Amino acid sequence: MLHLDLSNVTPFLPTGWRTGEEKGLEKAHDHVLNGTGAGSDFLGWVRLPADYDKEEFARIQKAAQKIRSDSKALVVIGIGGSYLGARAVIETLTSNNFNLTRGEGTAIYFAGNGLSADGLNEVIDLVKDVDFSVNVISKSGTTTEPAIAFRIFKALLEEKYGKDGARERIYATTDAKRGALKGLADKEGYQEFVVPDNVGGRYSVLTAVGLLPIAAAGLDIEALMAGAREEMELLSKPGMDNPAWQYAAARHALYESGKRVEILAGYEPAFRFFAEWWKQLYGESEGKDGKGLFPASVEFTADLHSMGQFIQQGERLMFETVVRFDTAHTQLTIPDDPENVDGLNFLSGKSMAFVAERALQGVTLAHVDGGVPNILLTVPARDARSLGALIYFFEFACGVSGYLLGVNPFDQPGVEAYKNNMYALLGKPGYEKQKAELEKRLES
Ligand code: PA5
């Protein structure tokens, strides 16, 4: 289904680079499939496209249907792995202007992924006068950003519908057994969905974490899972013809050759948030122990007019991974202009798809000439099945890549540092000593 082209990587690497990666790949593949490496408690995503909870899946579809029938808006509260996947899929399959394209359908707003009063107030203003529901997503239930947002939207719902009415409109996606949100959901009687214990946030898009908002957006979650399942079958086979092995090998060899940044480039505005999801996946999985490629992203051709200069001629730190969709949702033909003031009549009658493809080819050659290796990943269509495959491809390749790099791809110990400082500075009980130390530093 997906097609990986490494022809613009090979010239940058020594002959036999693939063979050099083979042993490491075999080991990494075994770690991912058989749980023989670090972080093996978090491999629940590997068989998820086949082994997912079918009863819960049916409940997700039912809940989504209810939301679509009784709500003009759904507020999805979560941060990091608890929202990026849903937003990535919803936008990629529809539009980065998703809510503007819905007409009378249910709008999806994301909240609790930052600490901006303006951001929260904007969502409050957008939903307060319409019927709305809330999907709060948090494994722990104590993550500051979503917890604050949930307080606010829960109160708004209770004020609008009363406690009983609000209960019917709150969907909690959280740990199956423990945590603050689990306790609250049990007590209040919210409908609950599960973040499986053995699936980390950045790998959770194909669980209820991603599936409920995606289904509430009216998208085909069956097809999404089917695409992921097909890719899972394909990638489970070891060997150098495994596309995930090839991608992992290329990026590892490029890292070893001195590259430090991987830029994910897309040519569809709708793809921008998928790149945000991808950045968390690779950034949190690989960026540790002083190692890792820094994952960056651009949207072409827009960003050629801002980042293009650096990519072409700046510090030679990066390589590009371009995601290209083979077919567009719609067609557009360039009109003729008798005055031809812009001199573009040589394009009259040509399709936008033709122009975009030529642009992609031209950009690739220019960047390769500028010393930027290029991985090209072609996806058949911007549809649910293809996207399911793409998600699984990047997840599997990420696990393999992390092991190839020699890190635990499934932990994120560094995320705690900012949280501890923030708790201390905000005066959370138990952080008194740290608070005094930090305040002293801030004064000096
Ligand atoms: O990938 C991760 O683990 C993180 O991005 C978490 O999903 C994020 O920190 C939110 O955590 P929680 O779901 O406990 O609120």
CA of residue 21 relative to chain centroid, distance: 27
Query: From ligand 1's centre to the CA of 202, what distance in Å?
Result: 8
286 is catalytic: no
What are the two backbone dihedrals, phi and then psi, of residue 101, each rounded to the nearest 5 degrees? -95, 0
Give the pLDDT confidence score for residue 444 in this predicted structure. 84
- Beta-strand (E) ranges in 9-131? 73-77, 107-111
Give the pLDDT confidence score for residue 140 in this predicted structure. 87
Which two tokens mark 388?
């399911």
Query: From ligand 1's centre to the CA of 337, what distance in Å?
Result: 53
DSSP letter string over 10-57?
A: GGGS-TTHHHHHHHHHHHHHHHHHH--STTGGG-TTSSHHHHS-HHHH
Which candidate, 358, 151, 120, 392, places its Cα nearest to that of 277? 392
What are the two backbone dihedrals, phi and then psi, of residue 238, each rounded to the nearest 5 degrees? -70, 155
Residue 289 is given by DSSP the state T
Nearest ligand 1 atom to the CA of 82 is: 7
What is the distance between the alpha carbons of residues 257 and 154, in angstroms, rounded to a whole number? 52
Strand partners, 73: 107, 132
- Residue in 419, 432, 437, 439 annotated catalytic: 419
419 is catalytic: yes
32 close to ligand 1 (CB < 6 Angstrom):
no
- Contact between 68 and 171 under an 8 Å Cβ cutoff? The reply is no
Residue nearest to atom 13 of ligand 1 (CA): 138
- Contact between 258 and 315 under an 8 Å Cβ cutoff? The reply is no
What is the distance between the alpha carbons of residues 193 and 63, in angstroms, rounded to a whole number? 10
Query: From ligand 1's centre to the CA of 415, what distance in Å?
Result: 10
The domains of the chain, with CATH numbers, are 3-37+225-405 (3.40.50.10490), 48-219 (3.40.50.10490), 416-444 (no CATH)
Give the pLDDT confidence score for residue 416 in this predicted structure. 86
143 close to ligand 1 (CB < 6 Angstrom):
yes
Give the pLDDT confidence score for residue 1 in this predicted structure. 84
Give the pLDDT confidence score for residue 151 in this predicted structure. 97
Which two tokens mark 334?
């360039």
pLDDT (tens digit, 9 = 90+) per residue, 376-421? 999 999 999 999 999 999 999 999 999 999 999 999 999 889 989 9
Which candidate, 435, 24, 437, places its Cα nearest to that of 245? 24
154 close to ligand 1 (CB < 6 Angstrom):
no
128 is catalytic: no
Which candidate, 139, 150, 170, 157, places its Cα nearest to that of 77? 150
Q: pLDDT under 50 in the chain at which residues?
A: none
Residue nearest to atom 2 of ligand 1 (CA): 201
| Residue type at position 91 | E
